[in-house]
Structure 1
Amino acid sequence: MTTHAAVQDTSRADRLAKLDAAQLYVCTDARRVQGDLPEFLEAAYAGGVDIIQLRDKGLEARAELEALEILREAAHRHGKLFSVNDRADVALLVGADVFHVGQGDLTSAQARAVLGGDVILGRSTHSIEQATAAEADPEIDYYCVGPVWETPTKPGRPAIGLDPIRDVSTTASRPWFAIGGINSPDRLAEVVAAGAQRIVVVRAVTGADDPGAAAADLKQKLSTMKGQQ
């Protein structure tokens, strides 16, 4: 059933404006263990999260769609963005604001062919070369750079450290996010000092006893640190 919460401006211009203003991006699973997906999403968005991506590799398509419908309504109720990971068919069915792919997933041209021009496209990058390629791709609207530090959410993927963050910060012309192991105030300070203006986190919010308070604290610290640059 369509609700008022699911109705908002989903034009490319509106989505791009929200992306440009975004600072805090959270990736979460469907919280099947906790059984609190609606409550978590409400708290995270209310706490200041700008984009939430559902990333749960264990979900069948129907269950993923059900979880994404909950995410879509929460995002639109708060005037924020929601993101679908990897599956263009699912992104199309749910009317995703954002579609995010990895290096081995659909090309940007393939994603556009399926999803059209209004959706925001993001790509994961793990080196300066990959970030440069994303920056040069006219179809990519934002990209993530990392993991800056090793993280259990990406087992086996080596950390790239802060040097690529420093390099990208001097050349980027579109929104980009530092990602990977940003789970403490000290690490947040390091990544901001290296030039990051936006971050993606997982456990710093999903693993918090109070996700809303954790999000608000991160957002406040990020804004303060940016202001001190």
Structure 2
Amino acid sequence: MPPTKTQPALEFFAALTRGEIELALGRVTDDVEFDVSRSRGPWSGIFRGRSELRGVWESLGEGWRSMRWESTGSRPVGGRIAVATRIRAAGAASGIEVEARAGWLISVRDGLVSAGVFFQTYDEALLAGRRRALADARLYLVCEARPGGRDPGPLLDAALRGGVDLVQLRDKELDDEGLVLAARAFRAAADEHGALFFLNDRPDLVAACDADGVHVGQDDMPVPEARRIAGDAALVGLSTHSPLQFNAALAAEGDARADQLSAGPVVETPTKPGRPAAGIELIGHAAAVAPDDAPWFAIGGIDAANVAEVVGAGARRIVVVRGVRDAADPEAAARELRAALG
């Protein structure tokens, strides 16, 4: 998501910073909704429309000699914007100064703020936004830093225009510095199109690569450790290759529960040499046992020739590599696959 798309949220909070409430209200839609139910303060609740928001903001100043609300950071996350805020206030009678920090997840529609959700921390807002974007995702592209020895930018842009929601940088040949440099193109493309960006198997580089999450395999670092290293706001994906592994991943709780699962490979692929195919049966099993709030993707040799079979087995999300990366027209290939998912 480029800066022009985050601008409405930033202008909204900038107006609040200057105390220009009416200008801030001019930056929201008629049906705007702010969910502040997670607040521990007296103004917890859900507020709809400009008049309710005006009343809340006017009441915030009661009992305070001064109050300053400012944005201290922001970043796009999927199709939304996470914003870090800080309120500084001084008591009217005591003069005691207090400071409170929080995070907001902002939605924008037609150039105006249409919704805001309050969180106690910025990391919580980021994680919530990433999980919402992941729940909406359907088409996931994995590719190396320089597909076919070329700049990845044109491929990524074409794939994302065609309907890819999530891109992963997977390159076992690069050192740490090379991965961080390569990640810039993936991050830029994801932001431009409101998509998520994952890094393969390197939770220790998630922050340096500015990735939304990391994907690990069964033989890699355990999910709780990957989550600890990647950070509180990062998503963690996990590969599964059998009904037993898939069931175990679903049964995991707390930090051990992955945010996203992949099931496969449907067929053997050169991307994972030596990995036997799990077959279409694993896809049918996953579709039968996974609850709606557990995003999972079928993976492994999926392309236009077999996607109908994969969807018929129950998959609603797929991971692709060659089916888009090696296509003569990656945008058209992505669009065809996305359409097949319904």
Instruction: Give TM-score scaled by structure 1 length.
Output: 0.91
Task: State yes or no: 1:68 paired with 2:155.
Answer: no
**Other-structure match for 2:276:** 158
AA of the residue aligned to 1:177:
F
Query: Is the 1:144–1:176 contact (alpha carbons within 8 Å) kept by the matching residues of 2?
Result: yes
Aligned mate of 1:198, from 306, 313, 317: 317
Give aligned-pair identity as a percent.
Answer: 45
Listed as ranges, the gaps of 5+ residues in structure 1 are 224-229
Tell me which protein shows more helix as a share of its residues. Answer: 1
2:168 and 2:198 in contact (8 A); partners too: yes
Q: Does 1:52 align with 2:167?
A: yes
Instruction: Give the superposition deviation at 1:192.
Output: 0.8
Residue equivalent to 1:24: 139
In the aligned structure 2, how far is the partner of 1:215 from the partner of 1:101?
24
**Aligned partner letter, 1:35:** R
Bigger relative contact order (CA 8 A; separation at least 6) = 1
Q: Is the 8 A contact 1:92 1:114 kept in 2?
A: no
Of the candidates 194, 200, 209, which is equivalent to residue 85 of structure 1? 200
The two structures, once aligned, show a CA RMSD in angstroms of 1.6
Aligned to 1:7: 75
- Report deviation, 1:129: 0.7
> What is the letter of the counterpart of residue 135 of structure 1?
L
d(CA) in 1 for partners of 2:278, 2:223? 24
* TM-score normalised according to structure 2 size: 0.62
Partners in 2 of 1:114 and 1:28 — Cα distance? 23
1:36 is displaced (CA, Å) by 2.5
* The structure with more radius of gyration: 2
Tell me how far 1:33 sits from its aligned partner.
3.6
Aligned to 2:245: 130
Letter of the structure 1 residue corresponding to residue 261 of structure 2: Y
Q: Which residue of 2 aligns with 1:104?
A: 219
Amino acid at match of 2:244: E
1:109-156 alpha-carbon deviations (Å, 9 max, x no partner)? 111211222211100111001111111223311100000111111111
SS in 1 for 2:153: helix
SS of equivalent to 1:52: strand
Alpha-carbon offset, residue 82 of structure 1 = 0.6
* Post-superposition CA distance 1:34-54 (Å, at most 9, x none): 322111111111111000101
Runs of 4+ in 1 over 2 A off after TM superposition: 3-7
Question: Normalized per residue, which structure has more strand?
Answer: 2
The size of the alignment, in residue pairs, is: 220
Contact 2:236 2:259 (C-alpha < 8 Å) held by counterparts: yes
Q: Which segment is superposed worse, 112-121 or 170-179?
A: 112-121
Task: Give the CA deviation at 1:32.
Answer: 5.4
Give distance in 1, aligned partners of 2:151 and 2:210. 23
Q: Which moved more, 1:86-95 or 1:71-80?
A: 86-95
- SS of 2:341's equivalent? helix
